[in-house]
Chain A
Amino acid sequence: MIDALGSVGSLLLVGGTSDIAVATAHRYLRERPLRVVVAARDTPRRAAVADQLSAAGGSVEVVDFDADDPGSPERMLARVAAGGDVDVALVAFGQLGNAEQLRSDAAAVAQLARVNYVVPTVVGTVLAEHMRRQGHGVIVALSSVAGERPRASNFVYGSTKAGLDAFYSGLSDSLAGSGVSVLVVRPGFVRSKMTAGMPDAPLATTPEAVAEAIVSGIRRGRHTVWVPGAMRVVMSVLRHVPRPVFRRLPI
Chain B
Amino acid sequence: MSPSIKIYVPRDAAALSVGANRVATALANEAKKRGQAVEIIRNGSRGMLWLEPLVEVETAKGRVAFGPVAPKDVASLFEANFLTGSAHPLNLGLTEEIPFFKNQERLTFARVGVIDPLSVDDYIAHGGFVGLKKAVTMTGAAIVQEVADSGLRGRGGAGFPTGIKWKTVLGAEADQKYIVCNADEGDSGTFADRMLMEGDPYTLIEGMAIAGVAVGATKGFIYLRSEYPHAYQTLLEAIRTARAARWLGPAIGGSSYAFDLEVRLGAGAYICGEETSLLESLEGKRAIVRAKPPLPALKGLFGKPTIVNNVMSLATIPWIMANGAKAYADFGMGRSRGTLPIQLAGNIKQGGLIEKAFGVRLREIIQTYGGGTHSGRSFRAVQVGGPLGAYFPESLLDTPMDYEAMAAKKGLLGHGGMVVFDDTVDLAQQARFAFEFCAKESCGKCTPCRIGATRGVETMDKVIAGDTSKLALIDDLCHLMTDASLCAMGGLTPVPVMSAMTHFPDDFNRAPKRMTPENLAAE
Question: Are these two chains actual partners, yes or no?
Answer: no
Chain B positions within 8 Å of A, measured between CB atoms, are: none
Q: Which residues of A contact B (CB under 8 A)?
A: none
